[in-house]
Amino acid sequence: MPPFPLPLDAMIGHYGAYAVYLAIGFAFGYVLEISGFAISTRLAAQFYLKDMTVLKVMFTAIIVAMVLIFFSTAIGLLDFNLVWVNTTYLWPGIVGGLIMGVGFIVGGFCPGTSLVSVATLKIDGMFFALGTL
């Protein structure tokens, strides 16, 4: 049996799994902040084709994740049948993408980066996060 996905509840308990999730979320937010992705001008510049850093980083992350999943499945580390993939609904995805894209351009944040900017006490991120509620 492949060792991944890890049975965190069995290994460290229910609350221990939540601690792992919290640590992963904190680390992800930290990486977003030190890379400058919590700055709304950098994110908005992506849509005006002036700063392609976000595209480069996201494209690289997607390719790395795909390659790691493929090879870990090929060598038996990951049971791909246990990886849940959501069903694709095209029209709701298009409408949701358009709504999020407009909010992204107007506010300069996606929901995740707005929470990172709130954590770093940026006023524009606070207003954006309040607006998404």
Tell me: the pLDDT tens digits for 86-127? 899 999 999 999 998 888 888 888 888 888 888 889 898 899
* Number of CB atoms found within 10 A of residue 77's CB: 13
Domain-embedded: residue 68: yes
Domain-embedded: residue 41: yes
Domain-embedded: residue 116: yes
pTM to 2 decimal places: 0.68
Domain-embedded: residue 105: yes
Of the candidates 119, 121, 113, 127, the one whose C-alpha atom is nearest the C-alpha of residue 40 is 113
- CA 67 to chain CA centroid, Å, is 18
pLDDT at 30 over 80: yes
Report the alpha-carbon distance of residue 37 to residue 2 in Å, rounded: 35
Count of domains observed in the chain: 1
Question: Taking each helix axis from N to C terminus, what angle separates 123-132 and 90-107, rounded to the nearest 10 degrees?
Answer: 150
37: pLDDT confidence band, cut at 50, 70 and 90? confident
**Greater model confidence, 9 or 23:** 23
Domain-embedded: residue 29: yes
Instruction: Give the alpha-carbon dihedral of 132, 122, 36, 105, to 10 degrees.
Output: 40
